[in-house]
């Protein structure tokens, strides 16, 4: 029976990782496109407009190209292959060996969480990242979701470890002043306290300030927009995680989730003088206060949450895009 379960976990492992990505990639991209459009609108303040002009001028005056470049960079993060799991005797992989999606999804997704359901983590971060041991239980069992995706992932990855090279590079970049020990923290998947998305965003934002590119600020935006998805604030790949993201993608335009008036209100909730960590944590706290998509799948409930969280995510993106250019002008704030 155990062998059957392990084989099933392997066959379905592509679900585990696909579900670990906050929003579908087109949603990530569209949120950034909508953020830049707001910054070029009559609603924008002087700092937002200055930032907009910077990005557009960097694209040779083509606003559509600037939006596409920023959005595509945000989109691309889910395709990173910089986190490998396995063991020295069976090899290390950046994605599952089994499953239809093994070539397009990756274990880097476990860096895409900021868990608001708990406080300080094992690394000393104010809020940690994904942690199977502290996940939100799959409360959707029996309510339209048959598998506990987190448990399937743990069976498939049981006692796998992070590749040491990735600990010394990716994890080190995402440590951002916190403490990590390879043997203590990354020996067994079921006990790994992954670094939070706040640290990953802070790293890429710092790279942008040192050498501005559409890619680096776009990467930072990906980890920010992750925080607007409630599942990524509760350390769960289950609880209708994937179906919620697919629903948002399907209805993003149909239901006008990026209403300009709602975005304008959300923009006022974020301060570009705050640190990247603070902006993302604020967004994550708002998402955490809307747990309904974990347990409800009806259109009305989902729409009520999306009408809040999509504008909030775009508003936070405006703050980060503005902050990035403020920093280049010596006005970085925290």
Lowest mean pLDDT among 48-62, 234-248, 252-266: 234-248
In a domain, 264, yes or no: yes
Q: What is the mean pLDDT of residues 169-178?
A: 98
Residue in 316, 302, 204 with CA at minimum distance from that of residue 251? 302
The two three-digit tokens of residue 247, written as one number: 């629903």
Q: What is the mean pLDDT of residues 43-48?
A: 98
162 strand-pairing partners? 85
In a domain, 333, yes or no: no
CA atoms lying within 13 Å on the CB side of residue 135: 27
Torsion sign over Cα 323, 324, 329, 334: positive
In a domain, 267, yes or no: yes
- Is pLDDT above 60 for 18? no
Q: What is the mean pLDDT of residues 188-208?
A: 98
In a domain, 42, yes or no: yes
Burial category of 142 from C-beta neighbours within 10 Å (exposed 0-12, middle 13-18, buried 19 and up)? exposed
pLDDT tens digits, 74-127: 999 988 999 999 998 889 999 887 654 444 458 999 999 999 999 999 999 999
C-alpha to C-alpha distances, 235 to 43, 55, 141, 244, 262, nearest whole angstrom:
35, 34, 17, 15, 28
Q: What is the mean pLDDT of residues 195-203?
A: 98
Residue in 22, 16, 77 with CA at minimum distance from that of residue 231? 22
Percent above pLDDT 70 for the chain? 91
The contacts of residue 200 (CB under 8 Å, 6+ apart) are: 111, 112, 173, 174, 223
In a domain, 263, yes or no: yes
The predicted pLDDT at position 13 comes to 38
Tell me how many domains the chain contains: 1
Lowest mean pLDDT among 43-52, 92-101, 253-262, 318-327: 92-101
Cβ atoms of 198 and 276 within 8 Å: the answer is: yes
DSSP state of 113: -
In a domain, 305, yes or no: yes
Cβ atoms of 307 and 28 within 8 Å: the answer is: no
Confidence of residue 9 (pLDDT cuts 50, 70, 90): very low
The two three-digit tokens of residue 313, written as one number: 């995510």
C-alpha to C-alpha distances, 3 to 7, 85, 87, 174, nearest whole angstrom:
6, 21, 20, 36
Lowest mean pLDDT among 2-6, 11-15, 81-85: 2-6
Confidence of residue 25 (pLDDT cuts 50, 70, 90): confident
The predicted pLDDT at position 98 comes to 64
**Parallel, antiparallel, or unpaired for β 161-162 and 91-93?**
unpaired
C-alpha to C-alpha distances, 213 to 73, 196, 328, nearest whole angstrom:
10, 23, 12
In a domain, 334, yes or no: no
Rounded Cα gap, residues 217 and 7, in angstroms: 40
pLDDT tens digits, 240-252: 998 999 999 999 9
The predicted pLDDT at position 236 comes to 92
In a domain, 179, yes or no: yes
pLDDT tens digits, 277-318: 999 999 999 999 999 999 999 999 999 999 999 999 999 999
Cβ atoms of 19 and 106 within 8 Å: the answer is: no
228: domain CATH number is 1.10.575.10
The predicted pLDDT at position 105 comes to 59
Q: Which domain holds residue 170?
A: 2-328
The predicted pLDDT at position 198 comes to 98
């Amino acid at each position: 029976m155990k062998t059957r379960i392990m084989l099933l976990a392997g066959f379905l492992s592509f679900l585990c990782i696909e579900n670990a990505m906050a929003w579908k990639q087109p949603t990530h991209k569209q949120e950034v496109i909508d953020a830049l459009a707001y910054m070029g609108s009559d609603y924008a303040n002087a700092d937002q407009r200055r930032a907009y002009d910077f990005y557009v001028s960097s694209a040779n005056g083509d606003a559509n190209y600037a939006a596409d470049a920023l959005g595509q960079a945000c989109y691309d993060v889910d395709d990173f292959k910089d986190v490998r799991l396995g063991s020295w005797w069976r090899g290390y992989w950046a994605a599952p060996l089994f499953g239809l999606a093994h070539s397009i999804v990756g274990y880097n997704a476990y860096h895409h969480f900021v868990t608001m359901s708990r406080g300080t983590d094992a690394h000393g971060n104010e809020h940690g990242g994904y942690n199977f041991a502290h996940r939100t239980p799959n409360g959707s069992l029996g309510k339209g979701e048959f598998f506990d995706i987190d448990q399937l992932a743990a069976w498939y990855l049981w006692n796998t470890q992070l590749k040491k090279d990735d600990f010394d590079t990716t994890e080190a970049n995402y440590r951002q002043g916190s403490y990590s020990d390879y043997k203590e923290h990354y020996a067994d998947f079921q006990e790994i306290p992954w670094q939070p998305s706040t640290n990953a965003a802070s790293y890429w934002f710092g790279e942008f300030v040192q050498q501005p590119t559409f890619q680096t600020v776009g990467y930072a935006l990906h980890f920010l927009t992750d925080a607007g998805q409630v599942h990524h604030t509760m350390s769960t790949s289950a609880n209708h995680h994937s179906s919620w993201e697919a629903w948002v993608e399907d209805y993003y335009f149909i239901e006008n989730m990026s209403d300009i008036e709602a975005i304008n209100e959300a923009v006022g909730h974020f301060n570009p003088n705050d640190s990247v960590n603070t902006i993302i944590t604020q967004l994550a706290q708002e998402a955490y206060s809307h747990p309904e998509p974990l347990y409800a799948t009806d259109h009305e409930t989902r729409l009520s949450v999306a009408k809040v969280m999509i504008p909030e995510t775009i508003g936070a993106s405006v703050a980060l895009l503005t902050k990035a250019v403020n920093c280049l002008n010596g006005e970085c704030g925290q």
